[in-house]
Amino acid sequence: MTKTIPQNDRDMFYEFYLDDPATPSFCSFSKLYIGQEADLLKVADRLEASNCYPQTANAVRDYFSGNLSASHNIAYQTIPVLQPVNLISSSHISVGKREWNHINTWECVYKISVEGLEAEQIVVLYKEKY
């Protein structure tokens, strides 16, 4: 199933950065997330509830209240909290019971199994990158 470009602001997708938790403590990198307004407002609520990234939580709410220049500090840089991205396509997949081995960066094997799963995959375009 292919989705068309969003027709209203509630359907829009946004880029959102936080500090990358996978980097060593002596490195500072950001990690990109993509979400819609409802998703990002839930993230803001959870950040506030955990007393983590209070500036970011406020900036997300400010953005959706009309302050399109709202910013936050990630990886020692002040950046816009959200930027709209263009949705190119989306697809949905359903998978029944499966088992597989996941090998991580350190070549450790994790045995993973699911009774079933559903996933939505999107392709977005932002700053000439997919």
Rg of the chain, C-alpha, whole Å: 17
Report, as an integer, the average pLDDT of 2-17. 68
Q: What amino acid occupies position 41? A: L
Distance CA 81, CA 58 (A): 10
Give the percent of the chain with pLDDT over 90.
Answer: 76
pLDDT of 78 strictly over 60:
yes
Q: Which residue has the higher pLDDT, 9 or 112?
A: 112
So what's the pLDDT on residue 6?
45
Structural domain spans, the chain: 9-89+120-125
Sign of the CA dihedral running 75, 32, 38, 62: positive
pTM of the entire predicted model: 0.75
For residue 82, report the phi and psi dihedrals to the nearest 5 degrees.
Answer: -140, 145
